[in-house]
Amino acid sequence: MFKYLFKILIVLAILFPLFFIASANFNHFSQTQAALDDGCNNSVDDDGDHLVDMNDPGCANDPAPVGGRDEDLDTGTCDLRVHAQGGFYVNQTVTVSVDVTSSGTYRVYVNDRNPQEKVSSGSSLVFTLPARLFPSIGTYKITAQRQGDMAGEPNVSCANSPQFITVTVKPCKYDFGPKKILAGETATLSVQIENSESGKIYHAVVSEKDNWGDQIWTSPEVIGTGGVIVTMVQVEAPSNGDDLKMIISRGPAGDVEADVCDPSVTKIIQVLTEEEWEDQEEPYEGISGENPCPGGVCNTALGRITAEIGPFASKILAIAVGLAGGIALILMVIGAIRVLTSSGDQQKLNAGREMIVAALAGLLFLIFSVVIMRFIGLNILDICFGPLGLCI
């Protein structure tokens, strides 16, 4: 009886800690789920920022970030700074720097999720938030904090945290051609705009580089499709050879705005005078493919070889047959010497005999190849191998 009682006590000792852990996890899940169900988990964009539920930084019941919200209000240990060149765009990486004054583990969150963690010994940290964290237009919440420790030290929020950034569609990229035109001439430039916004109006605006606005040439309006669009602009190159520059503008035709395409700098159209135009290097046309040998025949170490298919094949085949015949003759001579000098040694006699047989077999194979080549080349391909006597 005591044996069974002892086993029961062991089972209870194992099950009790498991029951305690399961109860704690269930309570945590129940509290989190209650927060989700209380107005946030409704799949509705309540504030018009294109973000819903847990992706909405304006949600009052946003779940706590990894590590909890038990944060010290002392923000003197770190300072959050968010950087982007030209603006925050969809599917673009965002750089975040955290200026720290004490060592520890620091985390950066996007919408209280996706923690990026680094350890600092007291120097500033730089976090690169991947583009996948900014997949669509909207407002994103970026927070930074210094993590607490197991001894009970609380998390510490950084100064200027959280920060909210507005992510928009990335500006377009464009290119045009030709990039050089003759002074005094009228030229038509083809402009290709990539990554255009659907429904937006685009047009290329060209003016003099040093006298912007004195004379403006504008392309017809073209509506963005979300992809690549093409427009044309006709310009009159200044007769004095002054260069032109181009921007891509959105809005009413003729409205000169800042360049909305990436890169934001304007692109230059070179205007060349007649002297400069004539001094341009001719474009490299590559190898013409003509036979460099005079008369179509090249003098080589193997003799005169022509590029015409018939004589060329005839020459190569004649060389190959000559080499094969010479090798067979040498093998026959070596085999005969071995037989004559074997002095009755059966092993040497057999080796010499096998060499002679191999040489004769090679000659027979060579003769057979010539016959087949004559049949295929002369009767089928109509190629005459003159040096081998295969022409009829």
CB count within 10 Å of CB 131 equals 13
- 16 inside domain: no
The verdict on 132 and 81 lying in the same domain is yes
Mean pLDDT of 248-265: 57
Q: pTM of the predicted model, to two decimals?
A: 0.37
**CATH number for the domain that contains residue 94:** 2.60.40.10
The verdict on 180 and 267 lying in the same domain is yes
CB count within 10 Å of CB 370 equals 16
- 342 inside domain: yes
In the prediction, which pLDDT does 14 show? Answer: 54
Q: What is the pLDDT of residues 104-138, one digit of tens each?
A: 899 999 998 888 899 988 788 999 998 888 888 88
The verdict on 59 and 163 lying in the same domain is yes
- 45 inside domain: no
In the prediction, which pLDDT does 368 show? Answer: 83
Q: What is the pLDDT of residues 63-117, one digit of tens each?
A: 444 334 344 445 567 899 998 766 788 777 888 999 988 888 999 999 988 888 9
- Average pLDDT value over all residues in the chain: 74
Max avg pLDDT among 29-43, 180-194, 207-221: 180-194
- 10 inside domain: no
Would strands 180-182 and 267-272 be described as parallel, antiparallel, or unpaired? parallel
**pLDDT band, residue 379 (cuts 50/70/90):** low
Query: Which tokens in the block code for residue 102?
Result: 């004490």
Q: Which domain holds residue 115?
A: 53-167
**pLDDT band, residue 37 (cuts 50/70/90):** very low
Give yes or no for residue 358 having a pLDDT over 60.
Answer: yes
DSSP letter string over 77-106?
TEEEEEE-SS--BTT--EEEEEEESS-EEE
The better pLDDT of the pair 23, 295 is held by: 295
Instruction: Return the closest-CA partner of residue 223 out of 195, 248, 203.
Output: 203
- 9 inside domain: no
Query: CA dist 296 to 305, 309, 318, Å?
Result: 9, 12, 20
Q: What is the pLDDT of residues 279-326, one digit of tens each?
A: 776 666 666 666 567 666 777 777 777 777 767 777 787 788 888 888
The verdict on 60 and 132 lying in the same domain is yes
- 22 inside domain: no
The verdict on 274 and 325 lying in the same domain is no
Measured torsion, CA atoms of residues 320, 326, 328, 332, in degrees rounded to the nearest 10:
180
The verdict on 225 and 153 lying in the same domain is no
3-class DSSP assignment, residue 245: strand
For the chain, the domain total comes to 3
The verdict on 156 and 179 lying in the same domain is no
Give yes or no for residue 330 having a pLDDT over 80.
Answer: yes
- Strands (DSSP E) contained in 163-266 are 163-167, 173-177, 180-182, 186-194, 201-208, 216-218, 222-223, 229-236, 244-250
**pLDDT band, residue 6 (cuts 50/70/90):** very low
| 296 φ, ψ (degrees, to nearest 5) | 80, 10
- 272 inside domain: yes
- 121 inside domain: yes
Give yes or no for residue 225 having a pLDDT over 80.
Answer: yes
Q: Is the bond preceding 17 in cis, omega lying within 30 degrees of 0?
A: no
The verdict on 185 and 262 lying in the same domain is yes
Domain boundary among 167, 190, 222: 167
